[in-house]
Chains A and B, each alone.
Chain A
Amino acid sequence: MTAIVKPLRTPAETGILEAFAASAALNDPARSVREAAIARIADIGLPGRRNEPWHYTDLRTLLKTVPPVAELESATALPGAFVIDGASQIVFSGARMSQSGALPAGVTLASLPYDAQVSPAIPAGEALVALNAAFALASAALVIAPGTHAGALHIAFRDAHEAAASLARRVRIEVQAGASVTIIESHESRNGLGHLTNTLIEFELGDGAKVHHVRVNSCGDEANSLSTLAARVGDNANFATLSMTTGARVSRHQIFIRYAGEHAHVALRGVSLLRGKQHADTTLVIDHATPNCESREAFKTIVDGDATGVFQGRIVVAPHAQKTDARMSSKALLLSEGATMNNKPELEIFADDVQCAHGATCGELDDNLLFYIMARGLPKREAEALLLEAFVGDVIDEVEDETLREVLMDKARDWLAERT
């Protein structure tokens, strides 16, 4: 007699299947792709602690309920929405994508075809990507023509909905040979709503292409924010991303990088500022599949209150990927007794002529430094803010664009000011 033991479905797993069944909008030309994806979720369930890449972020327990699918755009506007001066905007609201202002020459925008094809940088059957395939109602395909210097494009996920909703969106950005672009990706929603958002952003960088990507997660304080960023990077291409997380109750930002050419440079950076009961996970896999490439990863996390930070970084160097140069660091400061940080750097190196390094630290603010600064006249909270600003500032300083640097520093300062 054989018995297949399956864990009982959690309320969130049941909720996902119910939300899928209840949404008429999902009954569209992509139905077969969606059904295949939801069947997979029904089969494997939500990722949880028994699943190695999800050990510290157990979605089976962290997700409590699944709200209905948002089939419309929000009827109201979000007050004080995040805007970058001079950037063309592509705005996602609920199930709708719209564009404001003219796109730069050489940039085209369309909806994605209904296909199941995802970036080769993403591992097969990845759970968040499957969820995205089942639920995504709005998508965009951006193409930057060869040699185009497109300037700054702002992709804003602005959900002003006044009831909790499930929101899945997907954007594919193809930056063709020799082209360059700055992409700002922002996520905002109202406080107090248990949204479930799932975003899939896929970059494809042609030879010599250059991408600067800045992501800002300012979702509402009860939101569950799931995000996948994938990039395939060609010869001599340059991909830099920085993600700043201050919002959402539960967030997971996963990054998958694959090199498809030589002499490419990738820089992944992140700043997470957490408080209350927030749980924020950054998980990245960098696949050095080709020789002579560089990668730099620098992540800073400040954890206050009863919040939890997670960093998992895995660098894989293929047997023939000689002369790979990879350096990863994750540093966290814990500001309270209840704060938790899980740091897990991993190196998997199969080549012998490489330089790889990783470092992870977790600590508190230095009392000696605090006393020194206070003895010069700064009250404790201001002294702390000075040190914390410096802590995250050295990662933000690496952003090439000065305007964006200032925007990010201001966001960090706002967060710090709310402490004092």
Chain B
Amino acid sequence: MKRFESVFKKIEHRKTMVLAMLNITNLHASVDDKEILKGLTLSVKPGEVAAIMGPNGAGKSTLSYVAAGRAGYDVTAGDVTLNGESLIDLAANERAAKGLFLAFQYPLEIPGVTTMTFLKAAMNSQRKQRGEAELSTPDFMKRVRAAADKLGIPQDMLRRPLNVGFSGGEKKRMEVLQMALLEPRFAILDETDSGLDIDALRIVADGVNALRSPDRSFLVITHYQRLLDYIKPDSVHVLAGGRIVKSGGPELAHELEKNGYRDYVADAA
């Protein structure tokens, strides 16, 4: 019986692997030869909203960049898979075309490129890589208008260069607009709450919540519990010292808010 038990366990494990939308296993990553992620393992199921919390310097932003495929991050061991497909050897744009989206902590300004032009280039580029037909201009306009209206983004903002002169709240709303139009299967929100006042936070959170669906998952990276009052997670994971050191339900976030990261920082060190 014992022999079978271990086999069952293996089968059970494989089942979660297949079911999991994003699977990170034993991920080690370095920047400039300094190891930041030290064996990070995490699974997020379809439809799940997983929150990652952690102290400064724990590797939160590194995790988002490594997952999205930024140059300059060396993955020395482990794997990141999306729907069972490894992302590690893919360029950032290929990962995006496979359905991965990263909402940036600090969205960048692109002088000279209007928001409209940028959105169209991004949508059509992804479609092309997936072997789909490009959107017609009227079809594209219809989608953008509808998505912008929902987020309270005025039309004239879409004609301005992307993020140039936008407030912190406007930039984050633009990230959500891009997410809504690109319809990713997996979205990573990197400290989306940073620099937002409470009204802006509510608008952005509502935008994210509207995109929740059984076949789309989210990884919400945040320093504070506050964001999780608006985007309710299914699971909460503590990242410290480059590893997930504790996982639990939403209550874990409240516990962290009360006690801070002290215990975990000590553990990781």
**Do A374 and B96 touch across chains, with their CB atoms under 8 A apart?**
yes
A residues less than 8 Å from B91 (CB atoms): 374, 379-380
Q: Quick check: is A126 within 8 A (CB to CB) of the other chain?
A: no
A residues less than 8 Å from B121 (CB atoms): 378, 382, 386
B residues less than 8 Å from A390 (CB atoms): 110-113, 161
Q: Which residue in A377, A382, A393 is a CB contact (below 8 Å) of B112?
A: A393
Q: How far is the CB of B78 from chain A (nearest CB, A)?
A: 21
Q: Quick check: is B212 within 8 A (CB to CB) of the other chain?
A: no
What is the number of residues of chain A that contact chain B, defined by CB distance less than 8 Å? 22
With the chains together, A382 CA to B94 CA distance in Å? 13
Q: Which label, helix, strand, loop or mixed, suits the secondary structure of the A interface?
A: helix
Closest to A379 in B: B93
**Do B108 and A378 touch across chains, with their CB atoms under 8 A apart?**
no
With the chains together, A369 CA to B137 CA distance in Å? 26
Closest to B129 in A: A377
Assuming the A-B contacts A369-B108, A372-B107, are A377 and B71 also in contact, with contact meaning beta carbons closer than 8 angstroms in the complex? no
**Do A376 and B122 touch across chains, with their CB atoms under 8 A apart?**
yes
B residues less than 8 Å from A373 (CB atoms): 110, 118, 122
Q: Quick check: is A387 within 8 A (CB to CB) of the other chain?
A: yes
Q: How far is the CB of B31 from chain A (nearest CB, A)?
A: 13
Q: Which residue in B96, B111, B113 is a CB contact (below 8 Å) of A375?
A: B96
Assuming the A-B contacts A371-B70, A377-B126, A378-B122, are A387 and B110 also in contact, with contact meaning beta carbons closer than 8 angstroms in the complex? yes
**Contacts between the two chains (Cβ within 8 Å), count:** 78
B residues less than 8 Å from A394 (CB atoms): 111-112
The proximity string for A residues 17-40 relative to B, scoring 1 for CB distances below 8 Å and 0 otherwise, is: 000000000000000000000000
Within 8 A of A (CB), among B83-115: 91-93, 95-97, 101-102, 104, 107-108, 110-113
Q: Quick check: is B44 within 8 A (CB to CB) of the other chain?
A: no
**Do A377 and B182 touch across chains, with their CB atoms under 8 A apart?**
yes
B residues less than 8 Å from A371 (CB atoms): 68, 70-71, 92
Q: How far is the CB of A371 from chain B (nearest CB, A)?
A: 5
A residues less than 8 Å from B107 (CB atoms): 372
With the chains together, A97 CA to B97 CA distance in Å? 55
Q: Quick check: is A117 within 8 A (CB to CB) of the other chain?
A: no
With the chains together, A380 CA to B91 CA distance in Å? 9
Q: Which residue in A372, A380, A382, A393 is a CB contact (below 8 Å) of B108?
A: A372
With the chains together, A393 CA to B97 CA distance in Å? 28
Q: Quick check: is B178 within 8 A (CB to CB) of the other chain?
A: yes
Q: Quick check: is B242 within 8 A (CB to CB) of the other chain?
A: no
A residues less than 8 Å from B102 (CB atoms): 375
Q: Quick check: is B125 within 8 A (CB to CB) of the other chain?
A: yes
**Do B93 and A380 touch across chains, with their CB atoms under 8 A apart?**
yes
Q: How far is the CB of A101 from chain B (nearest CB, A)?
A: 35
Q: How far is the CB of B80 from chain A (nearest CB, A)?
A: 15
Q: Quick check: is A400 within 8 A (CB to CB) of the other chain?
A: no
**Do A375 and B69 touch across chains, with their CB atoms under 8 A apart?**
yes
Closest to B96 in A: A377
**Do B111 and A374 touch across chains, with their CB atoms under 8 A apart?**
no
Q: Quick check: is A54 within 8 A (CB to CB) of the other chain?
A: no
Q: Quick check: is A391 within 8 A (CB to CB) of the other chain?
A: yes
**Do A386 and B113 touch across chains, with their CB atoms under 8 A apart?**
yes
Which positions in B face A, CB cutoff 8 Å? 68-72, 91-93, 95-97, 101-102, 104, 107-108, 110-113, 117-118, 121-123, 125-126, 129, 161, 178, 182
Which positions in A face B, CB cutoff 8 Å? 367-369, 371-380, 382-383, 386-387, 389-391, 393-394
